[in-house]
Amino acid sequence: MLTSARPSEKHPFVMVIFGGAGDLARRKLFPALYSLYRSGLLDRRFAVVGVGRSEREDEQYRQIVRESVDSHSRMDVENEEDWSSFAERFHYVSLDVGTAQGYGKLRERVERCERERGIPGNRLFYLAIGPELFGRVSSLLNEEHLTRTEGWKRLVIEKPFGHDYESARELNDQIRQSFQEEEIYRIDHYLGKEMVQNIEVIRFANTLFEALWNNRYISNVQITASETVGVEDRASYYDRAGALRDMVQNHILQMLMMVAMEPPSRLNPEAIRDEKVKVLRSLRRWKSDDEVSQNIVRGQYLAGRVDGEEVPPYREEEGVPAGSVNETYVAGRLFVDNFRWSGVPFYIRTGKRMRQKSTEVVIQFKDVPQNLYFNKNNDLGPNLLVITVSPEEGLSLQFNAKKPGGDNEVIPIAMDFCNNCAEDTPEAYESLLHDALEGDLTFFTHWDEVSLAWKFVDPIREAWDRDPESLTFYESGSWGPAEADQILKEEGHRWHRAYRHGTKSIVQGSRIEK
């Protein structure tokens, strides 16, 4: 949304949500639609048709939408009349989406919405159902003529997109029978996050950074996505997926691509995607067991304390099979083998039940050739650019300066900008839904990215399958297994602590406690 080169254009539409009363719809999609509506970003001619097997009347469905907005929206309902005008656009159709029976009823409902609201056939099909249904539903939409429309048709598809390269390819082939690539919006919600989108702007709208953005000046890059939550109620999915498939194949690699890509010739989806794909092509693939064990660490959480509460080990979580060797943590040392990045390690880490919820990208610049100054530890702190993605969004530029009044003593200071400390910014789903309705594919994942990401991840997975002993363990509430520190130590580096911004949304100066 933020960096689209195109002017904003509203379209009338019908949105069909498969899994229309599920968790994703309630926690993310309804609140996103409501915020867009309240912000005036939706054409007034729109309707939403929710689909599920449970029987419900429209009124009951609207009640679910209201409860979801009351609980999860960043905007409160302030005017009941305005709420009614929003809610009356929601309808519900009960059907089993895995069988053709019932699609006729759905088509009629969609066509009625279009007639009654003067919508010229633009249809957004949102698959908020289990991944085993993605292919089947996309085929049935075609076979049952829902894709036959005077306006545009688009398919928004949730993660996971496949389980490995082969299953992803099969799914993609099936979807492509009904939808063209430019009609497929594969969601990676990290691409909807304000500061992930901002990486592009920070880099390409500032001489200051772009001039230094290469292996002559950058020592290493660190990408962290740590969570405090455990597996929650998702063991049936998560124990088969693991952190590598769940977070690295998509979110972590997407952030890496945003950091490492070359400037696109234009700000259009094709040009940006081409540059991102080149990064994945240059990503060194760890294939042999030795390469994997030397560069990638996987771990599983043990019992511990998180946010002051005792938590059980992963193996004792509900639904997790006894003795599971599934990883809840991954750290890695990656290399992008091209002119710009040759020799610069990209360290990645992600895990559940870690010390702190924090997603951030740290760019560590190289040291000056000679230290002319002194300070307490007799070393200068590194120059760092920290891009905090969540829960705080912002930027911090850390460098060295003279201590006021000191005897030429040098101290680290920071220029700090917090994007969301003073007020809420749009949720990722709000931004992505808006883009899908506008037809802007910039922040959606192209098949080329999905397929190359699986090709990077699959050999790592296979090496682990051959060697279950490669699993390490970490205490809940820690920063992960010690083995993950070792891969940085070997290069003379260390993980940076998660950054916390000040409370003001203005650029401010501050000293850093060492």
Ligand X SMILES: O=C1O[C@H](COP(=O)(O)O)[C@@H](O)[C@H](O)[C@H]1O
Which residues are annotated as part of the binding site for NADP(+)?
A: 53, 96-97, 159
Is 251 assigned a catalytic role? Answer: yes
* Shortest reach from residue 210's CB to ligand NDP, in Å: 33
| Closest distance to ligand NDP from the beta carbon of 62 (Å) | 16
Q: Which token pair is 341?
A: 């990045």
Judged by CB under 6 A, does residue 227 bind ligand X? yes
* Residue ranges of the binding site for substrate: 189, 193, 227, 246, 352, 357
How many whole angstroms separate alpha carbon 92 and alpha carbon 102? 13
Report the DSSP pairing between strands 13-18 and 46-52.
Answer: parallel
Least CB distance to ligand X at residue 391 (A): 8
239 counts as binding ligand X under rule CB under 6 A: no
- Phi, psi of 482, deg, nearest 5: -60, -30
Label residue 355 exposed, middle or buried (CB < 10 Å: 0-12, 13-18, 19+). Answer: buried
When binding is defined by CB under 6 A, the residue of 12, 50, 52, 477 that contacts ligand NDP is 52
**Interaction residues for ligand NDP, span 140-199 (CB under 6 A):** 158-159
Min dist CB 509 to ligand NDP, Å, is: 39
CB of 23 or CB of 181, closer to ligand NDP: 23
The verdict on 54 binding ligand NDP (CB under 6 A) reads yes
Task: Give the helix ranges, DSSP H, for 261-353.
Answer: 269-282, 289-295
With CB under 5 to 8 Å by kind, the binding choice for 44 among ligand X, ligand NDP, none is none
Q: Taking CB under 6 A as the rule, does residue 502 contact ligand NDP?
A: no
Binding footprint of ligand X, residue count (CB under 6 A): 5
Q: How long, in residues, is the chain?
A: 514
Closest contact distance (angstroms) between CB of 112 and ligand X is 35
Of residues 48 and 191, the one with the C-beta less far from ligand X: 191
Q: Which of 104, 130, 343, 391 binds ligand NDP (CB under 6 A)?
A: 130
Tokens 């850093």 identify what position? 512
CA distance 490 to 236: 37
CA separation (Å) from 143 to 126, 180, 234, 484?
17, 15, 33, 50
Q: Minimal distance in Å, beta carbon 447 to ligand X? A: 19
If contact means CB under 5 to 8 A according to the sort of partner, which of ligand X, ligand NDP, none does residue 390 touch?
A: ligand X
User: In angstroms, what is the minimal distance from the CB of 128 to ligand NDP?
Assistant: 5
In the block, residue with structure tokens 């520190």: 485
Query: Closest CB to ligand NDP belongs to which residue?
Result: 22
In the window 75-104, what residues touch ligand NDP (CB under 6 A)? 96-98
Alpha-carbon dihedral of residues 434, 436, 441, 447, nearest 10 degrees? 140
- Select the binding partner of residue 104 from ligand NDP, ligand X, none (C-beta < 5 to 8 A, by kind): none
Measured CA to CA, the distance from residue 353 to residue 361 in angstroms comes to 20
The option from ligand NDP, ligand X, none interacting with 310 (CB < 5 to 8 A, set by class) reads none
Between residues 356 and 390, which has the closer beta carbon with respect to ligand X? 390
22 near ligand NDP, rule: CB under 6 A: yes
**Shortest separation between residue 72's beta carbon and ligand X, angstroms:** 13
- Torsions phi, psi of 30, nearest 5? -65, -45
Please identify, among the stretches 47-55, 270-278, 301-309, 404-412, the one whose residues bind ligand NDP according to the rule CB under 6 A. 47-55
Q: Which is nearer to ligand NDP, 55 or 78 (CB)?
A: 55
Three-state SS sequence of 14-58: EEEEECCCCHHHHHHHHHHHHHHHHCCCCCCCEEEEEEECCCCCH
Q: Taking a C-beta distance cutoff of 8 angstroms, is the pair 329, 355 a contact?
A: no
Instruction: Name the residue whose CB lies closest to ligand X.
Output: 246
Long-range pairs, 278-284, Cβ under 8 A, ≥24: 278/338, 279/336, 280/253, 280/449, 280/452, 280/453, 280/456, 281/452, 282/336, 282/337, 282/338, 282/341, 283/253, 283/256, 283/334, 283/335, 283/336, 283/337, 283/452, 283/456, 284/334, 284/335, 284/336, 284/337
If contact means CB under 5 to 8 A according to the sort of partner, which of ligand NDP, ligand X, none does residue 359 touch? Answer: ligand X
The DSSP code sequence of 217-236 is TEEEEEEEEE-S---TT-HH
DSSP conformation class of 327: -
Q: Which helix or strand (DSSP H or E) is residue 510 part of?
A: strand 508-511
Q: What angle do CA 221, 225, 228 make, to 5 degrees?
A: 145
Residue 126 C-alpha from the chain's centroid? 18
> What is the three-class DSSP state of 430?
helix
Is 246 one of the binding residues for ligand X (CB under 6 A)? yes
| Inter-CA distances, 12 with 42, 88, 92, 183, Å | 8, 16, 19, 17
Q: Which stretch binds ligand NDP (CB under 6 A): 48-56, 331-339, 358-366, 438-446?
A: 48-56
Exactly one of 167, 268, 390, 508 binds ligand X (CB under 6 A); which one? Answer: 390
- 354 in Cβ contact with 272 (< 8 Å): no
Binding residues: 53, 96-97, 159, 189, 193, 227, 246, 352, 357
Binder to ligand NDP among 129, 141, 155, 386 (CB under 6 A)? 129
Q: Taking CB under 6 A as the rule, does residue 359 contact ligand X?
A: yes
What is residue 355's three-state secondary structure?
Answer: coil
Name the segment binding ligand NDP (CB under 6 A); options: 34-42, 129-137, 211-219, 276-284.
Answer: 129-137
Please, which of residues 284-343 interact with ligand X by CB under 6 A? none
| Catalytically annotated residue among 251, 434, 493, 501 | 251
Known catalytic residues? 251
**Binding-site ranges for ligand X (CB under 6 A):** 225, 227, 246, 359, 390
**Binding-site ranges for ligand NDP (CB under 6 A):** 19, 21-24, 27, 51-54, 96-98, 128-131, 158-159
